[in-house]
Each structure stands twice: as C-alpha cells, then as structure tokens.
Structure 1
C-alpha cells in the first residue's frame, strides 16, 4: 500500500514538473515571444543608458582619451546657474503649459462630444500637432520678428512701438504659447476618445436622478476618464522635458545661431554643452545633464502614477 502511494506521489511529482507542465510551456514560449522585444529594448535603451552614465563620469570632447572625473560633472551641474535656470524653465513649461492645456483640452472634448461634424472638428484641431516643429518654429519666428507679419499688423492699426516678441525676456512666454497651440489638439483628441467611450445609459441615469451638469461631470465623466487623464499626464511629462526643436529654431533671432539662455530648457542645455554651443564640446558634462533629465522624467512619472492611482472602473 505504501509502495503504491509512493508510486502515485512520485508520478504526480513528475507530471507537475514534467516537460508538458504549464510552467515549462510558458518558459518555452517566453523566448520566441518576449525575447525579441526584450532584446530590442536592451539594445535601444538599456545599453545606451549605461553608456551615457559611463560617459557622464568622464571629461571628454568626443574624440581622444577620456579623463575620469567621477561625480564632478554632476557637482558642476549643481553649481551651474545656467543649468538651474534651464531646469526651472523646463518645470515651468511642464506645469504651466500642462495645466492650461489639459483644462482647454478637457473643455474642448466636452464641447465637441455632441457637436455635429465632430470628426471634421477633431481633424482641424489635431492639425497643428502634425506640423513639423522646425517648420512651425521657423514660421513663428518669421511672423514675430521685428519686421514680421504681427508687428506690421500692429503698426497698421496704430501701434507705433510694437513689442519685441523675440527679445530674451519675451521669447520663453512665446514658446510656451506656441507649445500650447501645438499640443492642445493632440490631447483633446485623446480625451475625446475617453469621453466617447462612456456608455449613454450613464447620462440617462444622471438625468433620471436629477443630477445637474456639475454633478454629472464630477461623479460620472471625470471618474470614467481618469485613466485617460493619467496616460495623458505621463505622455506630456515625457514630451515636455524633451522639447528642443521649437526653442532652438529661434536661435537666428539673436544673431549667434542659438536661442538666448533665458529660454533654455534642459534639452537645449544638453545639446549646447555636449556639442560646443557655449565653448568647446563637453560630451561628459552634456551627458550628465541628459542623465539628470532621464532621472527627472523617471521620478515625475512614478509620482504621477502614484498620485493618479485609482481603482479601475469597468463598464
């Protein structure tokens, strides 16, 4: 009896961990399905990130021997007033443009929800996002330069001393307004998709319960689109810290081939430092700034995900 029990137990153990067990089948399926994506991610992200961190610990001009500096590049960034100004500009762009943009996008998504010709309106408001940033920056620079279209129109209506839009003090607010124009339609389209997926019977129940517009917004629309807001917040956080082209294209306005330092973000600082916009190329210092930007993105995304975490509402 004990031999039979032992035999059954042994066979059970063999079946559980045998070649045909679910665990082994999942293990065999991992390589053909997940392996290529993991290799792709490793080659295009993990390896470049490790190389960037290694370069940031050295003094290097892009060619010749590398000199070990340890954390000196990061200490120099901490004491660099220009980098702190660039970091502050980046955070201002992230927060100010982000808040105004999400308010406008959400309002527009609600207005367009029941509008006739909604698809055409969605295509129109999405169009600015399709324009290349370099082209858009060049057009804006042409329109707002001292002899451009905007100042010509202002002079035509009697404004004898129009603002110097591309001056160092006015350039960054103009860039923020341009980014607001470019991105609002993109996030409106995403939020419209979130609003459109809410089943009509939720609105019917609100009407039967006598809920007003504010109650319908607070207890139905916002909770059911909260996950879409979370995705949009993460996308904007990542893209805002990478903004570079539209800022750099204004460089011709001051005659030195680069924008005034008052309008720099961390992306512009990284490029100018690494490729010698200020002096000789300093790949180590520029890469250190890029690593700091990467850490900033990671921290902000984690904080956003935690702050916007809610129970998933299925409907």
Structure 2
C-alpha cells in the first residue's frame, strides 16, 4: 500500500513532464499568442473578408448586393481571366523548371570555383534592380533598331522587327523573370551546399564519381529540404507577378497591357481599379480567392511530390 502511494506521485510527475517541459507549456501561449493574433489580423481576416466580398456585387462605396456564385461564373466565361490563369501557370511551371535548372547548373559550377562569393554576389544583383529597369532595357535592346537586331544584321541574319509583339511577350516575360530569380535561388541553394561536409565529395572523387554523379548523389539529397522550400517560395511568388508584366506590356496602367500577357494578379488589380469604369470588388475578390486556392493546391501537391526522408550523417 505504501509502495503504491509513493509510486502515484511519481507517475503523475512523469505524465505531466519535468520542470522544463511544464515551464515551456506555460510560456507557449504568452509567446505564440501575440504572433498568432497579429497573423490573424493581417492575413486571415483579409482572406475571410475577400471570400465574403466575392459573393457580392460591390463598387467599394455603395450598397453590397448579393450575387452568390455569379462572380465565379463570370470568371469561367471571361476570356481575359483564362489568359491570366494560363499565363500564371506558364510562369509557375515553365519559369520554375528553367529557374531551378539554371540554379542547379550554377551550383555545380560555383561549388568548386575560386572567387565563388563574388560570383554569387553578381548573380544576386538582378534581384536588387527595380522591374522598371528591365522594362526600359527590353525596349532598348529589342527595339527595331536596337542592339539585338544590329547584331543580327552584323552576322548576316534578318532582323526581327517585332521582338516585343503580343505573341512574343509571354516568352520574353518568362525569360526576364528567370533571369531575375535565378541568382536569388542559387544563393539560397548554395548556402545549403556550403554546409555539406567536404569529405563526402572527397570520398566520391576517390570512387571515381564525376561532377553529375556528385551532384545527384551528394549535393541534391543533402540540400533537398532547402530545395523544397525554394520550390514553395517560387510557387507563391509566381502567382504575384505583376509589375514586370505591366512594364513589358508597354503601358503605364494595367488596361494598356495586352490581356494576352495578364496574370491573375493583374486581373485582380484591373477588376478592383479599372480606371474610368466602375470598380468590381466582388469580381476582384473572387479572382483573388481562385488564385489563393490555386496556389494552395500547387503547394500541397509540390510538398507531397518532394516529400522524402531526411538524410542523416
């Protein structure tokens, strides 16, 4: 009986955890609560409000009129929204594959390069440049009498009079996005590669592994978690592409940019701020909700496809 009585408090202490664990439990909500409230106020509340607004017809000033799912039906029939979704998916998929392919190639080259820190800084520089510079540079380089056409004439090739035509703009925009994003993701991936022990590469070289085999069996598995995070960052950022598309479209306002180049972010902005016409905040909110659902689906699929066991040394 005495043994049982003495053992009961011991079992209770084990169930409750040690002093450090109890202290951590007491401090959990005081530390997490303010951050969670701040997050809910700035992010969750606007999402809920946008979803609610998407069910109404509203110009932002007058009375809100119930429409139910009519705004979403309008999106299904809107050709400009179709262009926006297709262009956003092209940027996400085609631009993502190109960006990470170039980033991995640069990682292979930079890992053993002398002066790799300087090269990494040069690659990161386009991320610091305002998108307006790229729009001006594109107009200068690819104009009818620009340097690109002058170089083509110099080597005996017919000049292309309309590099920045509507048909070519989506490809030009993706190329510019890849160029600006490659240095950013290369820098993040290289930060993970720098943490890989050098003796793994030395052992692989002794075994006769070439550069591709070292990348496939050492660099990629050891930096896989960072690569998966970069993939999620790319997915989220690709849905928010706006200013570079606007500038390549040659307009100071969204309405001047060809709808063939629009992204979902541009569609949302133009619906909410159409300029001379009446704002359609309900339609803009519906497009924003669709974009949010789309990026959420892509992130979930991507995380599941890239899930793997952690490599431990």
TM-score (norm 1): 0.88
1:172 and 1:305 mapped to 2: Cα distance? 27
Deviates more, 1:129-138 or 1:283-292: 129-138
Residue 108 (structure 2) aligns with: 110
2:254 and 2:7 mapped to 1: Cα distance? 81
Q: Deviations over 1:233-258 (max 9, x none)?
A: 11111111110011112343599852
1:170 and 1:189 mapped to 2: Cα distance? 30
**1:139 aligned residue (137, 140, 164):** 137
Q: Deviations over 1:177-232 (max 9, x none)?
A: 11111111111111222222221111122123233334323222221122222111
Aligned residues: 313
CA contact (8 A) 2:204 2:214 kept: yes
Residue 206 (structure 1) aligns with: 204
**1:29 aligned residue (18, 27, 44):** 27
1:50 and 1:252 mapped to 2: Cα distance? 35
CA-CA distance at 1:15 after TM superposition: 5.7
CA-CA distance at 1:82 after TM superposition: 1.8
CA pair 259-156 structure 1, distance change in 2 beyond 3 A: farther
Residue 124 (structure 1) aligns with: 122
**Unpaired segments ≥5 residues, structure 1:** none
1:208 and 1:144 mapped to 2: Cα distance? 49
Q: Deviations over 1:123-143 (max 9, x none)?
A: 111101111223333333344
CA-CA distance at 1:277 after TM superposition: 5.6
Is 1:194 aligned with 2:205?
no
CA pair 5-232 structure 1, distance change in 2 beyond 3 A: same
CA-CA distance at 1:107 after TM superposition: 0.6
CA pair 198-272 structure 1, distance change in 2 beyond 3 A: same
2:110 and 2:46 mapped to 1: Cα distance? 43
TM-score (norm 2): 0.88
**Unpaired segments ≥5 residues, structure 2:** none
CA pair 293-200 structure 1, distance change in 2 beyond 3 A: same
3-state SS in 1 of match to 2:111: coil
**1:248 aligned residue (218, 238, 246):** 246
**1:275 aligned residue (273, 276, 283):** 273
Deviates more, 1:77-86 or 1:111-120: 77-86
CA-CA distance at 1:13 after TM superposition: 7.8
Deviates more, 1:129-138 or 1:240-249: 129-138
Residue 81 (structure 2) aligns with: 83
CA contact (8 A) 1:110 1:195 kept: no
CA contact (8 A) 1:145 1:253 kept: no
CA-atom RMSD in angstroms: 2.9
CA contact (8 A) 1:97 1:179 kept: yes
CA pair 161-115 structure 1, distance change in 2 beyond 3 A: closer
CA contact (8 A) 2:57 2:64 kept: yes
2:205 and 2:157 mapped to 1: Cα distance? 52
Residue 312 (structure 2) aligns with: 314
Residue 282 (structure 2) aligns with: 284
**1:305 aligned residue (288, 297, 303):** 303
CA pair 252-203 structure 1, distance change in 2 beyond 3 A: closer
Deviates more, 1:228-237 or 1:27-36: 27-36
